[in-house]
Amino acid sequence: MIRSTTITITMATTLALGSCGDSSSGGQTASDSASAGATTDGASTSDSVGTTVGEGETAAMTASASATDASADSSSTGGGPKFDVGTNADVPEGDCSQNCGFSDWSYVFVANSNEATISKINTRTLLEEGRYRTRPDGSGNPSRTSVSVDGRAVVVANRLGGVTKVWARPELCTDQNANGMIETSTGAGDVLAFDAEECVAWHTPFPDATTQRPVAWTSGVYNEETCEWEQQKVWTAAANGTPGSIWPCDGAEGIYVYRLDGESGAVEDVVHMPDVTCGGTFGPYGGAVDFNNDLWMYIWSAGTIVHVDFETLDYETVSGGSYGITVDNEGRVWVDSGSRYDPASGQWANKVPANGLPGSGGSGVAVDGMGRVWTATQGGVGWIDVETMAVGDTVPLPEGGLYRGIAVDVDGFVWAVLLGGTSAHRIDPITYEIQTVNGLNAPYTYSDMSGGQLSNVTCNPPAG
């Protein structure tokens, strides 16, 4: 059911993880005021509960939303949803030991697959602030993106092979031509050549890969003296099938999992899995990490999940699974059908009722900080209670199509990307207000495109 009460919210955003030991910079809030449906530069209102934002337009940061039966008290969230992770608001000066997961910026990175680019969208202003090519040859067909726990970088996997890292902020980028400025994209109309884009940190080719989809950061190790995450790694996986085959896994000698150094992109570890079937079609499909930085990966059409241990690189297969995959902060694996696998018990559990929250035929899945698992439904999104597995509300979205990319950002907002369309939607998890970003090009993104999943498992330790 869809709630519908009138409630006014102020979308204040948490600014945490400022400079090390500077307690004045962390845990603060910043809010801009404007009325619901109002944007600058003439942005239009799409419907009574949503604001449409196009290229060059700025979304209102304070909005009036229409919703019934508002069971949540908006004042308890500071006027808007907040992801349930630690901040440095109460950390004594000179001590950053409690900082975790946040930065004073937040982006989602959406893959424009046909264009071979990724779009950097500010989750708070709803502006696209950059668009980047994902392979030197201008090809690659990217799909999965993963944002680091500190929000400093994104990695993107190209379905035709290759992984690329892009810095999230110009101040992190390198003046490669030493001309005294950072030359980087400012949006959709300003896409630089791959070699000219100074916010591309590295590209690691995988020339033998006929299909390469999963990609996921590990958290790394937190340095309490510098207040920075170090030794960050990147998981990715590929199948080396028969080139030119209609199914990239044809003839593959099993699956390869790679672990890359997050700083340089160098391949540090290779795990060959000749006994793990590719499923006959696309092979390794989606991946996520748990609080141990272990990789959990779904194998398309094989009905199998693979678990790779971070410390030993040993792997095991788990029977079951479906299209989407994520891991909650208790280490339980979720798939988009509404099923949950608990490694502690080795058992699967299913949503209740079993016929509730109709599936979309394949989509992402994401866990928020309010104890809910979000996935696409037929024409929108919906959620399941993370503990009881009871099916909750559904939220219809404007186009009514298939929303393959599902994520939760570090402020707790749910993101849904329309498959093959031009739009991405940000959904308030309390009021279900919808705001829309337009201007994408055949997006596909299906992964932790915001960094919210990694922040959740890193910064919210398991109970007990």
Question: For all residues of the chain together, what is the average pLDDT?
Answer: 81
**Structure confidence by residue, pLDDT tens digits, 201-247:** 999 999 999 999 999 999 999 998 888 999 999 999 999 888 778 78
Distance from chain centroid for Cα 61: 22
Comparing 4 with 349, which gets the higher pLDDT?
349
| pLDDT tens-place string over residues 378-392 | 899 999 999 999 999
Three-state DSSP class for 335? strand
Average pLDDT over residues 14-33: 32
**pLDDT-derived band at 374, boundaries 50, 70, 90:** very high
Strands (E), 159-283: 163-167, 200-204, 211-217, 221-223, 228-230, 233-239, 255-261, 267-273
Residue with tokens 């591309």: 200
Residue 74 pLDDT: 33
| More confidently predicted of 233 and 360 | 233
Question: 375 in helix, strand or coil?
Answer: strand
CA dihedral over 216, 252, 300, 442, signed as positive or negative: positive
Of the two residues 7 and 1, the one the predictor is more confident about is: 1
What pLDDT is attached to residue 96?
A: 57
Instruction: Write the DSSP assignment of 65-112 as a string of letters.
Output: EE-SS--S-GGGGTTS---S---STTPPTT--TT--S--S--EEEEEE
Identify any residues that bridge with 272 across adjacent strands, giving them in sequence order.
256
Tally of CB atoms within 10 A around 53:
29
Q: On the CB side of 84, how many CA atoms lie within 13 Å of its CA?
A: 14
Q: Where is average pLDDT lowest: 80-89, 156-165, 188-197, 338-347?
A: 80-89
d(C-alpha 363, C-alpha 369), whole Å: 20
Judged by average pLDDT, the poorest of 55-69, 325-339, 347-361 is: 55-69
pLDDT of 109 higher than 90:
yes
Question: What number is the average pLDDT over the span 127-147?
Answer: 97
The residue among 368 and 247 whose pLDDT is bigger is 368
Compute the distance between CA of residue 454 and CA of residue 212 in angstroms, rounded to an integer. 21
Contact, 68 vs 62, CB < 8 A?
no
Full set of structural domains in the chain with CATH: 6-459 (2.130.10.10)
Choose the weakest-confidence range: 59-73, 102-116, 199-213, 440-454. 59-73
- Nearest-CA neighbor of 446 among 326, 356, 328, 333? 326
Cα separation values, 327 from 74, 294, 344, Å = 27, 10, 13
Comparing 15 with 108, which gets the higher pLDDT?
A: 108
> What's the CA gap between 10 and 81, in Å, rounded?
10
